[in-house]
Amino acid sequence: MGEFVIKMPDVGEGVAEAELVEWHVKPGDPVREDMVLAAVMTDKATVEIPSPVTGTVLWLGAEVGDTVAVKAPLVRIEISGEGETAAPVEEKPVAKVEEKPAVKTEAPAPVSKPARPAKVEVKAPTTNGVHANGAHAAGERLEKALASPAVRLRAKESGVDLRQVTGTGPAGRITHDDLDQFIARGAQPALAPAGLQRKTAVDEIKVTGLRRRIAEKMSLSTSRIPHITYVEEVDMTALEDLRTTMNRDRKPDQPKLTVLPYLMRALVRTIADQPAVNATFDDGAGIISRHHGVHIGIATQTPAGLTVPVVRHAEARGIWDCANELNRLADAARTGTATRDELTGSTITISSLGALGGIVSTPVINHPEVAIIGVNKLAVRPVWDGTQFVPRKIMNLSSSFDHRVIDGWDAAVFVQRLKTLLETPALIFVEA
């Protein structure tokens, strides 16, 4: 018998390490050729690592959440024959990612206690439905405790259930001293209603994979970018009428239109007048890159978490083409098949929560971009037209800008231009 060592593969050009997000095997498991052993993640792209041999798993070189360098030993498998090397691989830091100390969860060994002499248990007399030791008898009906109004008031203010206090006064009456002693020992919480009970369990979930990437990205954005958020109402009535007509008359091979393709085309027209918004900012080098191509990131919720697939060169796409590409990328993101190139390179981002969009949001800029457009929920609201209130379809846009690069005035001008195009959608289709 021999051993075969599987090393971390090169999962992408320029990638020196990857995060281990899932094991499909454990030591002792039999594996066959092409069976998936693990999954690693880099830049939001998940890659599965198959076994090139058949055998039995001897050793795993990392834990879920660890970062593993390319070419570092990842799995050792026992196989028939001499194996990859004559001698086993030494488990050194280069061969195994340094493991973090784990918190021991074993229960402590029981401590032997000296035997105590047996004694006859004498049942204490009860008062007010409470035993003399202060505990209620099982199944015993709780009756109103005997106490003066002053004691009751103090107990209420202290959050003490008097039925849990042992009274030493005449007929078991609870005195101020009894209440003081009970509070000094640590008052017990009031009994819960029948059928209800307190829950004290805590679930600890290790932040790994895409969720860790999101946490790091959000921390970077909020710590380094001073956000300014500008919110504006947009009357979407005319655009919704146009969208309904275009969906009704669409061809069988054309996708159903949502608001997003119109917003994308309106962004392209607005950016042509204000190119400073379609930019990325390298704050380390102090360089702002204004992009001529409009690459729009679309924040998309997936079972694994939030991803941002990118519609490239929106300036060269029409309404239907934008809708087709949106659908394709959203499906790829939700099924985990989006490539690294499809998840990077955006120059401005749209964040939409659809029907859950609320009235206002404060979207976080996708670093190193300088702007993000947040789409809120569309709702019918009464609007005064000068003579009467009329129902209109209103939607808020909540847009955030990097205040180091975009001044408040420029941000407002940008959103107002976007508002004009959305409220008069024919302008979206007029040649510039």
Give every CB contact of residue 408 below 8 A, 6+ residues apart in sequence. 228, 230
Q: Which residues have CB under 8 Å from 206's CB, separation 6+? A: 64, 65
Residue 405: its pLDDT value, please? 95
The pLDDT score that the predictor gives to residue 96 is 38
Summarize pLDDT for 53-111 with one digit per residue, the tens. Answer: 999 999 998 888 888 888 899 999 988 766 554 333 333 333 333 444 444 444 444 44
Provide the 3-class DSSP secondary structure of residue 393. strand
* C-beta separation of 163 from 196 below 8 A: no
- The pLDDT score that the predictor gives to residue 392 is 97
Q: What pLDDT does residue 191 have? A: 55
Radius of gyration, alpha carbons of the chain: 33
**b/e for 283-322, b at 16 or more Cβ within 10 A?**
eeeeebeebeebbbbbbbebebebbbbbbbebbebebbbb
The segments of the chain whose pLDDT lies below 50 read 85-142
Which residue(s) pair with 424 in the sheet? none
Q: What pLDDT is attached to residue 357?
A: 80
Tell me what pLDDT residue 13 has. 61
Answer for the pair 255, 405: CB distance below 8 angstroms, yes or no.
no
- Rounded Cα distance between 158 and 209, Å, is 47
Question: What are the DSSP calls for 224-270, one per residue?
Answer: H--EEEEEEEEE-HHHHHHHHHHHHT--TTSPPP-HHHHHHHHHHHH
Q: What string of DSSP letters covers 312-379? A: --GGG--HHHHHHHHHHHHHHHHHT---TGGGS--SEEEEE-GGG--S---PPP-TTBSEEEEEEEEE
Q: What DSSP state is assigned to residue 125?
A: P
Cβ-based burial of 141 (10 A; exposed 0-12, middle 13-18, buried ≥19): exposed
Residue with tokens 């409009």: 294
Do 182 and 155 meet the contact criterion of CB atoms below 8 Å apart?
no
131 is catalytic: no
pLDDT digits (tens, 9 = 90+) for 13-47: 667 888 888 899 999 999 998 888 998 887 657 78
Distance CA 302, CA 309 (A): 11
Helix-, strand-, coil-residue percentages of the chain, each rounded to 5: 25, 25, 45
Tokens of 408: 């408040």
For this structure, is 176 an active site residue? no
Distance between CA 113 and CA 124 in Å, rounded?
26
**Whole-angstrom distance, CA of residue 342 vs CA of residue 339:** 5
42: enclosing H helix or E strand = strand 36-42
Instruction: Determine whether 55 is exposed, middle or buried from the number of CB atoms within 10 Å of its CB (0-12, 13-18, 19+).
Output: buried
pLDDT at position 156: 84
CA distance 84 to 68: 21
Q: What six digits make up the tokens of 252? A: 């069988």
pLDDT at position 190:
55
Of 136, 291, 403, 410, the active-site residue reads 403
What confidence score (pLDDT) does residue 140 get? 41
Determine which helix (DSSP H) or strand (DSSP E) holds 210, and give its type and residue range.
helix 209-224
Burial class of residue 216 (count of CB atoms within 10 Å of its CB; 0-12, 13-18, 19+) = exposed
Contact assessment for residue 295 and residue 313, using Cβ atoms and an 8 Å cutoff: yes
Residues 6+ apart with CB under 8 A from 318: 265
pTM equals 0.64
Task: Report residue 318 as tokens.
Answer: 């029409």
